[in-house]
Amino acid sequence: MTAATPAFDVIVVGGGIVGLATAHAVARTGRSVAVVEREPRLAQHQTGNNSNVIHSGLYYAPGGLKARLAVAGCAETVAFCRTHDLPHEVTGKLVVATEPEELPRMAELVRRGGANGVEVHELDQAGIRVHEPHVRGIGALFVPSTGITDYRAIAEKLGELVAKEGGEIHLCRAVQQLARRAGDVVVRTATGDLLGRQVVVCAGLRSDEVARAAGVDPGVRIIPFRGEYSGFSDRAAALVKGLIYPVPDPAFPFLGVHATRGIDGHVHAGPNAVLAMAREGYSWGAVKPKEFLQTITYPGMLRVAKQHWRYGFGEMHRSLSRDAMVKQIQRMLPDVRAEDLSRAGAGVRAQAVKADGTLVDDFLFVDQGSGPGAILHVLNAPSPAATAALPIGREILERLTGERLAPLGVT
């Protein structure tokens, strides 16, 4: 390290939407900020490979961070897209029950929606047909505030705004170590050090690894769950008007395979949830033996496997067999056929799991110190963190500096 080592008020590790929203909030206050990203471009991982749905905040436990930040983020994401002329549409969505045992879970969603201030309409079969004539269900919820967008475009715009405010974006720089000192943190990368008075780690699939590289035990392990998508043929796409979701299984923090008409007009179904064999394991062929071994020998993962092996094998079967996948989709859309489906990419979820096998449900922030020399680790930011990113960024700024920013452009 030399006297010329670049220094910033805040350094953000990770150029996904959460890191960029945090850097944007910091830059809005006039503080100097740098984003340090290991990949050659922004939004390469979860942010650039997801369902692109602007979630309403319906599902989440009232009083939790997810509920508060998703509801705020839903409005703020739409406002941000309007201001910057980014692709988006407020389409509304259906949550469809196909079996009687799902009805009590649907009632619980109505309760949660009410408690979170989300508008929800209950529909009978005739009501379902008005919204989606080809959907079969015994009851459904219509949630008008749900929308669609392109999170990669939002992340790139945030990067542009950070740079415009004088912030720096450093690509191709993997952070290897974080060393806390009395008044700052040394951020070590292969191409040199940076100094931050405070550091925020938003490293998604590697956030636990970076926490350990900062000398802190994160208390969780990131388990990578791949979510694969199937594209619909034109014939099957004509059966879908908007967003069609199943009633989620409360045992898992995933929303279940849903059909979505994206902002580009294409319809896809997914994502499923299969254990990935590398942190960035986007296909069955992407295997890193050391990472996979670390995943499957983690006590928390062993407990998850013991408890949910039947579900896990079902998801693997659906991943490998188009016939099995189509059966899942036919529960809501009976006229879709196996030949209508084609592989359409995948994303990998960074899911924090505790050693006792608990899948962490809410967003998780861990403070390593406070004031100058502090590091804040974002250790669980799965769905709906893309929706909630703008309020998450403001929340992190407040935790770091005590300064509270108003949301941008929400009327």
Ligand X SMILES: Cc1cc2nc3c(=O)[nH]c(=O)nc-3n(C[C@H](O)[C@H](O)[C@H](O)COP(=O)(O)OP(=O)(O)OC[C@H]3O[C@@H](n4cnc5c(N)ncnc54)[C@H](O)[C@@H]3O)c2cc1C
The contact set with ligand X (CB under 6 A) reads 13-19, 36-39, 44-47, 50-53, 55, 174-175, 202-206, 210, 227, 271, 347-349, 381-387
Question: C-beta of 113: minimal distance to ligand X in Å?
Answer: 17
Q: Which residue's CB atom is positioned nearest to ligand X?
A: 16
CA distance 105 to 102: 5
Closest approach of ligand X to the CB of residue 17, in Å = 5
Q: Which is nearer to ligand X, 103 or 172 (CB)?
A: 172
The answer to whether the peptide bond before residue 271 is cis (omega within 30 degrees of 0) is yes
Least distance (Å) from ligand X to the CB of residue 73? 8
Q: Are 18 and 155 in contact (CB under 8 A)?
A: no
Structure tokens at 257: 């395979």
| Residue 190 or 302 with smaller CB distance to ligand X | 190
In the bound complex, what is the minimum distance in angstroms from residue 39's beta carbon to ligand X?
Answer: 5
CB closer to ligand X, 51 vs 139: 51
Q: Which is nearer to ligand X, 33 or 210 (CB)?
A: 210
CA dihedral 327→330→332→334, nearest 10 degrees, is -160
CB of 286 to ligand X, least distance (A): 14
* Crossing angle of the two packed helices 17-28 and 151-164, in degrees rounded to 10: 30
Count CB neighbours of 328 within 10 A: 18
DSSP state of 187: E
Pick 218 or 347: Cβ nearer ligand X = 347
Bridge partners of 123, per DSSP, are: 140
Output the smallest distance, CB 275 to ligand X, in A.
Answer: 13
**Smallest separation, CB 220 to ligand X (Å):** 14
Closer by beta carbon to ligand X, 187 or else 332:
187
DSSP characters for 246-292? EPPPTTSSS---EEEE-TTS-EEEE---EE-SSTT--STT---HHHH
State which residue, 242 or 271, has the beta carbon closest to ligand X: 271
Helix, strand or coil for residue 379? strand
Least distance to ligand X, CB of residue 41, Å = 9
d(CA 250, CA 271): 17
Helix (H) or strand (E) holding 93: strand 93-97
Name the residue nearer to ligand X (CB basis): 139 or 393.
393
What is the rounded CA–CA span in Å between residue 277 and residue 296?
Answer: 9
User: Quick one: 230 or 383, whose CB is closer to ligand X?
Assistant: 383
Strands (E), 115-167: 121-123, 139-143, 147-149
Q: CB-based contacts of 117: which residues, under 8 Å, 6+ apart? A: 57, 71
Shortest Å distance, C-beta 44 to ligand X: 5
